[in-house]
Amino acid sequence: MGSIRRSKTKRRTRDLDQVHEDQSSEATVKKLQNQPLDETKPGLGQHYCIPCAKYFETEQAETVHRRGKNHKRRVKLLKEQPYSQAEADAASGLGVEKYNKFVSDYQDQKKTQENKMEVE
């Protein structure tokens, strides 16, 4: 298993910014978590990991995936990504105030999200 580890073009999933959009509204998240049965998708589209934009055959496969390295890496990347533009602005000496506000807002938001995840 796992003989070809770095095939980035194979099984390409959604870009991080697309996933960000997916996660940005609760309505979209709900929709993705409660998809209609679709026989063209693995597991009929019932086991979807939003951060990784991946379908799983079974709930067990999804659970195993969520504990795995790839999933955690992806979640981490997703958490880091929104900083980039604000950080660039701050670094250039523009909008430091805006950046600080953004960071505190973002951390609040992250806390809420993490609490939600623990409930799941």
Binding footprint of Zn ion on the chain (CB under 5 A): 49, 51-52, 71
Those residues with Cβ within 8 angstroms of residue 12's Cβ, 6 or more apart along the chain or in another chain: none
Q: How far is the CB of 27 from Zn ion (least distance, A)?
A: 21
State the minimum distance, in angstroms, from the CB of residue 58 to Zn ion: 15
In our burial notation (b when 16+ CB lie closer than 10 A, e otherwise), range 54-88 reads bbbeeeebbeeebeeeebeebbeebeeebeeebee
Cβ neighbours of residue 33 under 8 Å, at least 6 residues apart?
48, 50
CB of 56 to Zn ion, least distance (A): 9
Q: Which residue, 63 or 85, has its beta carbon nearer to Zn ion?
A: 63
C-beta closer to Zn ion: residue 20 or 71: 71
Q: Residue 88 is inside which H or E element, if any?
A: helix 83-91
- Compare residues 48 and 102 and give the one whose CB is closer to Zn ion: 48
Cβ closest to Zn ion, residue 73 vs residue 101 = 73
Kindly state the smallest distance separating residue 104's Cβ from Zn ion, in Å. Answer: 27
